């Protein structure tokens, strides 16, 4: 089974998203996708409408899928107790691109897509499952464990590993003596995620974490 999906679009773990939780760098996830809302936050901060982005600031780095109807992709709704009309359900406060709940002469129609439907903010997908993997450098003996997405190709995992080893492109990646196909995922390379089986056997989830062995090549990527 191909777990890679659309490989032109990066996949992120919840841990990737959660660190982006500041007004100057704010991501959220919802309905399976990851969005960088930093431009929206800056826009509304600059026009002095911070009240409208307070819920987004409070939920920066988190999954906000519960705000939305998964069938339509729109904000959840409720029946307004005064007007008896259908209105967006925003228990954490009003949001950008929402009209007033009560009739008013100040109401203006929205002339662009609301932020939650604007694909310009979408930067990738949220992983269906994050999994740990060990990377053992046979030259130095360093044994590092990182969290990756089940959809990640080995090229993407190599990219993730750069923060631990900026020469990671100078290595041959192997598992059980086999050279790995860097364009395929771990599962497609025959490296299963056995954590569910361990749990069924009453073993610790991380009883065994597969180790990728990396062997240094002569053609270093940088000096």
pTM (two decimals): 0.86
- Specify whether 60 is located in the same domain as 101: yes
End-of-domain residue from the set 76, 105, 126: 126
In which domain, by residue range, is 156 found? 130-216
Alpha carbon distance 145, 35 (integer Å): 27
pLDDT at 2: 42
pLDDT means per 10 residues in the chain (223 residues)? 58 98 98 98 94 96 97 91 83 87 60 91 97 95 96 96 89 96 97 94 93 81 43
Residues 77 and 107 in one domain: yes
Domain of 47, CATH number, reads 3.10.120.10
The total of structural domains in the chain comes to: 2
Query: Is 3 among the domain residues?
Result: no
Same domain, residue pair 168 and 148: yes
Helices of type H across 47-99: 50-58
Paired residues of 29 in beta bridges? 34, 63
The beta-strand segments (E) located in the chain are: 11-12, 21-22, 25-30, 33-36, 77-79, 86-88, 122-126, 130-137, 143-149, 171-175, 178-179, 211-216
Say yes or no: 25 and 115 in one domain.
yes
Clarify whether residues 122 and 138 are in a common domain: no
Q: Which residues contact 79 (CB under 8 A, 6 or more apart)?
A: 85, 86, 87
């Amino acid at each position: 089974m191909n777990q890679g999906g659309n490989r032109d679009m990066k996949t992120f773990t919840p841990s990737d998203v959660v660190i982006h939780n500041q007004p100057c760098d704010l991501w959220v996830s919802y309905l399976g996708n990851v969005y960088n809302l930093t431009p929206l936050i800056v826009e509304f901060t600059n026009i002095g409408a911070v009240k409208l982005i307070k819920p987004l600031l409070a939920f920066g780095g988190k999954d906000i899928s519960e705000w939305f109807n998964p069938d339509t992709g729109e904000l959840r709704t409720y029946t307004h107790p005064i007007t008896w009309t259908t209105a967006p359900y925003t228990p954490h406060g009003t949001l950008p691109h929402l009209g007033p709940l009560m009739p008013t002469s100040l109401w203006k129609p929205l002339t662009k897509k609301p932020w939650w439907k604007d694909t310009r903010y979408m930067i990738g997908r949220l992983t269906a499952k994050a999994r740990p993997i060990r990377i053992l450098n046979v030259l130095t003996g360093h044994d590092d464990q990182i969290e990756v997405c089940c959809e990640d190709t080995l090229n993407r995992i190599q990219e993730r590993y750069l923060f631990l080893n900026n020469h990671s492109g100078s290595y041959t990646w192997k598992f059980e003596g086999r050279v790995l196909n860097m364009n395929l995922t771990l599962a497609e390379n025959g490296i299963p995620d056995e954590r569910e089986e361990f749990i069924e056997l009453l073993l610790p989830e991380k009883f065994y974490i597969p180790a990728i062995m990396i062997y240094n090549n002569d053609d270093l990527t940088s000096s």
